[in-house]
């Protein structure tokens, strides 16, 4: 703390030490009491303070006006809050029917999922050679059947001839 800083405090915050920053107040007051120059500066600052204090006491509005506006503001917030609540209440009233529908659809979904889980799982593993055979059967199945039929016919004919010979 030095004289310059005390002059700055007087210039910035006025003559009343209570208006000065708390952390500087004590040191500044001690210095002020020791210096006539600083006391004179304090006196100059005091003149403006008198007018500023008068201005600070002056209120453009009365407490009654402030109270009325406070009540209006509180009412505005309360009614907005009630409106919000009533909207929710109305919504919940209309939500009764969908609530049952939602419950029913939830039950249906559970039933459907459980049925899906119970479906037979035909996941048989085939080796590559088995798959090739199957493919071959698919591609040539009819032809083979015809051959088989032909070969059976031929066997039957040979047996018939043998029977006739004997």
Partner 1 sequence: MQDNNKINNRDAQLLAGIARQSHDDFAEFVSQYMLSIMNFVHRFFSSKSQAEDIAQDVFLKVWQNAKHWKHNEAGSARAWLYRIAYNRCIDLLRQNKPQTDDTDNLSTDITPEKILLNDSKHKQLSAAIASLPERQRTALSLCTFQGLSNKDAAKTLAISVDALESLLSRARRQLRKKLTLETENEMNGGRVINE
Residue numbers of the site for partner 1 (CB under 8 A)?
8, 11-14, 19, 21-22, 44-45, 47-48, 51-52, 54-61, 63, 65-67, 69-70, 72-74, 76-78, 81
- CA distances to 70, 87, 95 from 78, rounded to whole Å, are 12, 14, 25
Residue 34 beta carbon to partner 1: minimum distance, rounded to whole angstroms:
23
- Burial zone of 28 (CB within 10 Å; 0-12 exposed, 13-18 middle, 19+ buried): buried
- Tokens found for residue 84: 């919000």
Give the residue with the Cβ less far from partner 1, 70 or 148.
70
Residue 54 beta carbon to partner 1: minimum distance, rounded to whole angstroms:
6
Residue 35 beta carbon to partner 1: minimum distance, rounded to whole angstroms:
19
CA angle 125, 130, 136 (to 5 degrees): 130
Query: Could you count the other beta carbons within 10 Å of the beta carbon of residue 21?
Result: 10
Give the residue with the Cβ less far from partner 1, 23 or 163.
23
Residue 29 beta carbon to partner 1: minimum distance, rounded to whole angstroms:
15
Give the residue with the Cβ less far from partner 1, 47 or 133.
47
Long-range contacts of 84-89 (CB under 8 A, 24+ apart): none
Residue 33 beta carbon to partner 1: minimum distance, rounded to whole angstroms:
21
Q: CA 71 from chain center: how many Å?
A: 35
Give the residue with the Cβ less far from partner 1, 66 or 101.
66
| Cα 133 to Cα 129: distance, rounded to the nearest angstrom | 6
Give the residue with the Cβ less far from partner 1, 73 or 92.
73
């Amino acid at each position: 703390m030095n004289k310059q800083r005390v002059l700055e405090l007087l210039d910035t915050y006025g003559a009343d030490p209570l208006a000065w920053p708390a952390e500087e107040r004590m040191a500044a007051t001690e210095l002020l009491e020791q210096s006539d120059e600083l006391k004179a500066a304090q006196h100059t600052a005091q003149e403006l303070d008198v007018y500023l204090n008068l201005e600070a006491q002056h209120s453009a509005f009365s407490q009654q006006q402030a109270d009325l506006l406070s009540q209006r503001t509180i009412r505005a917030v309360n009614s907005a809050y009630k409106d919000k609540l009533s909207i929710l209440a109305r919504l919940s009233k209309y939500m009764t029917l969908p609530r049952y529908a939602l419950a029913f659809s939830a039950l249906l979904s559970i039933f459907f999922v459980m049925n899906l889980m119970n479906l037979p799982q035909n996941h048989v593993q085939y080796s590559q050679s088995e798959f090739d055979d199957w493919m071959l059967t698919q591609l040539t199945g009819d032809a083979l059947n015809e051959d088989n039929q032909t070969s059976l016919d031929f066997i039957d004919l040979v047996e018939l001839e043998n029977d006739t010979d004997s």
